[in-house]
Structure 1
């Protein structure tokens, strides 16, 4: 008798795919648990809840596999690398990578995954995006100054060194020109960042409601209700301002009876602390100065070590190119974008600017000669 294959039996390819999904879910749950181990409070609870959700997905694949689970498999390489980073660092960069990983979920196009699982992965991406946004907010002020500083240092000093070098002047002249460009640019960037951030914080302070205003709310004329003018000045329509003001005054009356006015506000507080997002003037200045100087140092390193001519120019360009790729990739990781694309964009912009000054230096050197 010829045995007939059971059409309900999964194919070998399906079993392999399910086993890989199972391993990936286990690895992702471990990543979230490792991240939770480096957090506290609400963030820890959210990360543990994500790990629990990945555990539910894991159970789905276990049920499909039944007694075909087999020996444990390793998760995807990127997930294992993410787990290693989570155990060692647990920083916003790891959350940004986790956000990208959630965006690549294959469940949308897989008939063996439930619609709930596919929806979960979409929601997980937004949850991780929110957690990463908190970290981005905490470092965005000094990080912005650092990125601008190192990138400006790399590009401006490379352009300066290549432009002067193309004229054919001695290596010593190029070296001292590069050092002068480093110091001038770093000081200028530091001073500029300090003034910029300080001014922005002062503008925010001027736009922040005066907390002392809360103490007079209980004495307002309810009939006149001038509180509506506050909300109209903030952009509400007259009707919206009237409704909101009456609600605030009703809350005032309740708080006054309870002798507790400490929690009242006369304006809607922003969910994100803009002062924290901007950073401090001194922090931005120091960060900008140091990173500009570190970036501007790379183009002059070959000349510091006695190199000259085309060899020094090539080495300077290679060093700066690697640094531009690195800074572009870091920005890509932090923003949740593709690191390679951001790195290549940074490289193209930097080399484009430096190439123009090099060509001008060649033309200037030829005309002098």
Structure 2
């Protein structure tokens, strides 16, 4: 009795599947282009890492080409955010672009798509971690001065908007509102600058106090090999007794005398220069604090001035919130809206208080 081979039916892809595969192909090509553009603006290890990511995206693109076969068709058009990302990568290549690329990798749909392989889904997760690591390098390279600038501008926006709206709601004259706003700007900027200077200087002094002394390192060659306290130095800096003994033996044996450093602690993150951080904080607080005052400075008054002031500050808060979101690796839009809600919330409270005091004073 003859047995027949089971029939294998191969179903043709649906139109929806073809469109999805073409979109995936376009996205993979766009991501590869983004990484190549970023690599062109870098050297050394980072360049090699980015080119490796571009090569991996090329493998993923080939998977969709193989599935599509002779139905590849015209290249699908990627969305606006991806086109913007490519443009930014070509012309700027900053940590912000890496943060956006990280979020794009995090949104990969391959884990739930039956036509993407498990390896591809795993690749995308690893790609996100690689980009996260590169973005973290960029964030660490941002000095304390830049961080002081971002947060200084945000503080100026919120505090002076609240001050100006609170005073305006009490019904005082336009001249009084303007003087109050400028006084708040100057007082806040000076306070921020002084506080930033003290903070950075104090942090640097604390780090310097924890840094091993060069004189102590120079004394290492003269230590008694049989009885010395070098191992205690390493134990005091966090090593286990065994690790400290091994490290001390290496140093005394000459394995690390080229540097003769009492190491054993992690490198400290750069905290920036105190004076430059203070100046940056002063200027950016002032640049933020001047925005709520602008309508009154140009002669507007009453509700129109209040509305214009609130709108201008709202736009600025959205911008600073998005920047903070990118720096922290969080969704920029979510952080921007949160910043807007916090700023408007503070302003609303002071505005209501101004109305109450204005009514009771009248």
Instruction: Classify the TM-score, shorter chain.
Output: over 0.9
- Cα contact 2:239–2:264 (8 A) shared by 1: no
- Cα contact 2:237–2:265 (8 A) shared by 1: no
Q: C-alpha separation between the residues in 2 aligned to 1:247 and 1:262? A: 12
Q: Which stretches in structure 1 are left out of the alignment for 5+ residues?
A: 256-260
3-state SS, counterpart of residue 236 of structure 1: coil
3-state SS, counterpart of residue 142 of structure 2: helix
Q: C-alpha separation between the residues in 1 aligned to 2:264 and 2:13? A: 57
> Are 1:100 and 2:103 an aligned pair?
yes
Q: C-alpha separation between the residues in 1 aligned to 2:283 and 2:39? A: 33
Q: How does 1:123-272 map to 2 (within 5 A)?
A: 123-250=126-253, 252=254, 254=255, 261-268=257-264, 270=266
The answer for the alignment partner of 1:357 in structure 2 is 350
- Cα contact 2:96–2:326 (8 A) shared by 1: yes
* Range with greater deviation from structure 2 (132-141 or 231-240): 231-240
Deviation of 1:212 (Å): 4.1
- Cα contact 2:326–2:332 (8 A) shared by 1: yes
Deviation string, structure 1 residues 81-139 (Cα, Å, up to 9, x no partner)? 11011112111110110011111111111222222221211111111111111111121
Q: C-alpha separation between the residues in 2 aligned to 1:249 and 1:21? A: 59
- Cα contact 2:234–2:264 (8 A) shared by 1: no
Deviation string, structure 1 residues 36-57 (Cα, Å, up to 9, x no partner)? 1111122111111111111111
Q: How does 1:286-365 map to 2 (within 5 A)?
A: 286-365=279-358
3-state SS, counterpart of residue 223 of structure 1: coil
Deviation of 1:218 (Å): 3.0
Deviation string, structure 1 residues 229-248 (Cα, Å, up to 9, x no partner)? 11221123334433443344
- Cα contact 1:29–1:52 (8 A) shared by 2: yes
What TM-score do you get using the length of structure 1 for normalisation?
Answer: 0.90
Deviation string, structure 1 residues 179-206 (Cα, Å, up to 9, x no partner)? 1111121122112111111111111111
What TM-score do you get using the length of structure 2 for normalisation?
Answer: 0.92
Q: C-alpha separation between the residues in 2 aligned to 1:264 and 1:13? A: 67
Deviation of 1:140 (Å): 4.4
Q: C-alpha separation between the residues in 2 aligned to 1:243 and 1:8? A: 66
The answer for the alignment partner of 1:258 in structure 2 is none
What RMSD in Å do the two structures reach over aligned CA positions? 2.0
Deviation of 1:33 (Å): 0.5
In structure 2, do the counterparts of structure 1 residues 101 and 249 end up closer, same or farther at CA, with 3 Å as the change threshold?
Answer: farther
- Cα contact 1:149–1:291 (8 A) shared by 2: yes
Q: C-alpha separation between the residues in 2 aligned to 1:76 and 1:304? A: 42
The answer for the alignment partner of 1:14 in structure 2 is 17
Q: Which stretches in structure 2 are left out of the alignment for 5+ residues?
A: 1-6
- Cα contact 2:101–2:131 (8 A) shared by 1: yes
> Which residue of 62, 66, 69 maps to 1:63?
66
3-state SS, counterpart of residue 290 of structure 2: helix
3-state SS, counterpart of residue 9 of structure 1: coil
Q: How does 1:274-293 map to 2 (within 5 A)?
A: 274=269, 276=270, 278-293=271-286
- Cα contact 1:149–1:292 (8 A) shared by 2: yes
